[in-house]
A and B are shown apart, each in its own frame.
Chain A
Amino acid sequence: MTDQAILVPWQDLHDFISRLFVGIGMPDDHAAQEADALMWANLRGVDSHGVARVPWYIANTKTGVMNPSPSIEVRVDTPAIAMIEADRAFGPIVTNMAADMAVEKAKEVGIGWILIRNHTHQGAMGPYVQRVSNQDMAGLMFACSQPNMAPYGARVAGLNNSPFALSVPAKRHPGLLLDMATSLVALGKVIVARDKGAEIPPEWGLDQNGNPTTNPSQLAALLPVAGPKGSGMALLFECMGSIMSANSLILPVLSGQVGQTEEAGSVGRMATHNQNSVIAAIDIARFIDIDQYKNEVDGLIDHIKALPKADGFDEITMPGERAQRCYDERVKTGIPLPSGTIEALRDAADSVGVEFIRGVQ
């Protein structure tokens, strides 16, 4: 039994995760992609979207919510857009495919806009838009899911805190990478507080009676960032993603057609996990020389970072910068895993019948 956090080299964790997902029926390459997605998050300190999710993924696979051998089909395809039916595929597998397809189309006609229907958890948005920017393009992405956030003016959940990501490449600096939930705080922050037994600010969310709560275990609905702004964005994303792909995620819950249950890994009650997304790539080289572009992004970053700092700030950090620094460190020193996570992963290894993380008792 572990009672301490331990530092695990990312390679060993990656190896374990891959073996685990092969063990539940994923092809080798898909298992590796899923492991890549989880490591992307853990290496960058987005631990809420890393290996802590694994027990939930395994449980979802056993109930058929997540499909380790999906029949993925391209249902709509033009030079600029496509729609992919994901058949409940694990998010990373179909989203990597969609990101690459977006890039290919953008090379041909300047933009690729790919709608992914009926997929499951992708981890963070970051790896996918970064994948697009690594190919010298601007990336845009958003994901839709079931209600967990109160629309502005409501006291219960009625929208998802749909995340939204934008990215552009640079040269000297890491590219800019914005990855943000449309709630005031990401659900991960609530879960971290809950696991620590800490209180949360009352602005974060509502309890099941619709009142602000400071107890993370009581939170039933998140609150949107900037009131009608985050709420409006989340609503439009549902219209641009879910309704567009004939896979509404909000309406079936609000109309009572689909029920909600307690779901491990979340807070409050949610409907059975399912998602839709949009990922797009815009080809910079259509409009401007790519090296000139990257130089300008670098120059802009330099000047913004040189502005006078607000009280309490040593530095003005760029979107994605903190994550990149965490990556630079953890790729060398290893990924800290709390004892609760270690135990949950050990249980997962046992239930699937694979050897645990190499080098860990």
Chain B
Amino acid sequence: MTDQTLVLPWQALHEFSTRVFAALGLPEDHARQEADTLLWANLRGVDSHGVVRIPWYVQNTQNGVMNTSPNIQVTVETPAVALIEADQAYGPIVTNMAADMAVEKAKEVGIGWVLIRNHTHQGTMGQYAQRIANHDMVGLIFVASRPNTAPFGARAAGVSNNPIGLSAPAARHPHLVLDMATSLVAMGKVLVARERGESLPVGWGLDENGNPAIDPKDLATLLPMGGPKGSGMSLLFECMGSLMVSNPLVLPVLSGELEEAKTYHVGRMARHNQNSVVAAIDVSRFIDINEYKEQVDSLIDHLKELPRADGFDDILMPGEKEERTYAERIKTGIPVPPKTLDTLRQIAADLKIEFIKGVS
């Protein structure tokens, strides 16, 4: 039993994660991509989307919700768009493929718009948006998922807190990477509050009676950001993602066709499944890419020089906080709380693999 948070080198966590997924049946390269995804998050302080997810992935794999050997197929393709049937693949495997496909199409015709049907958890949106920006392109990605957020005016869940990612490449500064849930707060913040035994501010979510949830353990439904704005965005993402690919995620739950059960998160959710859109727009079709990046850099410079609001030392850019955390954690290591360590140690024992190298 651990009672301390350990700060572990990212390589040790990556190596352990890879072995977990290989033991579950993922091919070596896929196991590594999944580990990359988890460490992308942990290195940037998005710990809710890092190694803490492993037990949930293991459980989902063992009950057939996540598929370690999917039959991934491109079922629609034009020079500009594609639809990939993911066969419940682990999110990163098929989303990296989709991002690269979007980039290739954008090189040919200026834009690539790739839909992914029937996939599973991808980790953060930010990593894929960044992957696209690394190719000197603008990235757009959104995901559709099961209901967990109250539509504006409702007191029960009816949309998902579908996140959206947008990115633009820069040169001096890190690429701009926006990664945001359409709920007021990401589920991760509720989980952190639960871990810490803290109360939730009013406005974060509702309990199962539709009243404001104060104890995080009571939260049944998140609330949308900006009321009808986040609610509307989420609904349109379900229509532009799930309904477009004949894999509705919300309607089967609302109609009662699909049951909900207690989840790893908070509250109850239906069987995990997702659809996404990943798009890349080729900047150099419109403007010289170096001139573009210079303008982005200058814009960032000037925004950061504006007079600050009370309580702010710095005007941060989308993705900047994450890149600073990355720069630190890649050197000093990743803090892993005792409860997570214990759960992962148990996973290692169940899978009959060695625990994290260097950790008892």
Tell me the B172-228 residues at the A interface (CB within 8 Å).
176, 178, 180, 184, 210, 225-226, 228
Shortest Cβ distance from A313 into B: residue: B153
Q: Indicate if the CB atoms of A153 and B244 lie closer than 8 Å.
A: no
Given A153-B314, A238-B299, A254-B302, is A246 in contact with B291 using a C-beta cutoff of 8 Å?
yes
User: Within 8 Å of chain A (Cβ to Cβ): is B109?
Assistant: yes
How far apart are the CA atoms of A83 and B244 in the complex, in Å? Answer: 27
Q: Indicate if the CB atoms of B152 and A155 lie closer than 8 Å.
A: no
User: Within 8 Å of chain A (Cβ to Cβ): is B16?
Assistant: no
- We find that the number of chain B residues with CB closer than 8 angstroms to chain A is 75
User: Within 8 Å of chain A (Cβ to Cβ): is B156?
Assistant: yes
- We find that the number of chain A residues with CB closer than 8 angstroms to chain B is 76
User: Within 8 Å of chain B (Cβ to Cβ): is A337?
Assistant: no
Given A153-B314, A251-B299, A300-B250, is A80 in contact with B154 using a C-beta cutoff of 8 Å?
no
How far apart are the CA atoms of A304 and B166 in the complex, in Å? Answer: 28
- A109, A156, A176, A233: the one contacting B235 at CB < 8 Å is A176
How far apart are the CA atoms of A299 and B254 in the complex, in Å? Answer: 10
The distance from the CB of B228 to the nearest CB of chain A, in whole angstroms, is 7
Q: Indicate if the CB atoms of B246 and A288 lie closer than 8 Å.
A: yes
Total contacts A-B at CB 8 Å: 260
Q: Indicate if the CB atoms of A210 and B309 lie closer than 8 Å.
A: yes
Given A232-B180, A304-B254, A307-B158, is A286 in contact with B109 using a C-beta cutoff of 8 Å?
no
Interface string of A99-122 (1 = CB under 8 A from B): 000000000011101010000000
- A168, A233, A307: the one contacting B240 at CB < 8 Å is A168
The distance from the CB of A78 to the nearest CB of chain B, in whole angstroms, is 5
Residues in B lying within 8 Å of A, measured CB to CB = 76, 78-81, 83, 109-111, 113, 115, 138, 150-156, 158-159, 166-168, 176, 178, 180, 184, 210, 225-226, 228-230, 232-233, 235-236, 238-240, 243-246, 248, 250-251, 254-255, 281, 283, 285-287, 291-292, 295-296, 298-299, 302-303, 305-310, 312, 314-318
Given contacts A153-B309, A251-B298, 16 further A-B contacts (CB under 8 A): A76-B286, A80-B111, A81-B110, A110-B81, A113-B281, A115-B286, A150-B309, A180-B232, A246-B286, A288-B246, A304-B235, A304-B254, A306-B254, A307-B156, A316-B152, A319-B235
- 20 pairs, A vs B, C-beta closer than 8 Å: A78-B285, A79-B80, A81-B109, A81-B111, A81-B281, A111-B113, A115-B286, A155-B309, A158-B302, A167-B236, A180-B229, A229-B226, A236-B166, A282-B244, A287-B83, A292-B246, A304-B154, A307-B254, A309-B153, A317-B153
Residues in A lying within 8 Å of B, measured CB to CB = 76, 78-81, 83, 109-111, 113, 115, 138, 140, 150-156, 158-159, 166-168, 176, 178, 180, 184, 210, 225-226, 228-230, 232-233, 235-236, 238-240, 243-246, 248, 250-251, 254-255, 282, 284, 286-288, 292-293, 296-297, 299-300, 303-304, 306-311, 313, 315-319
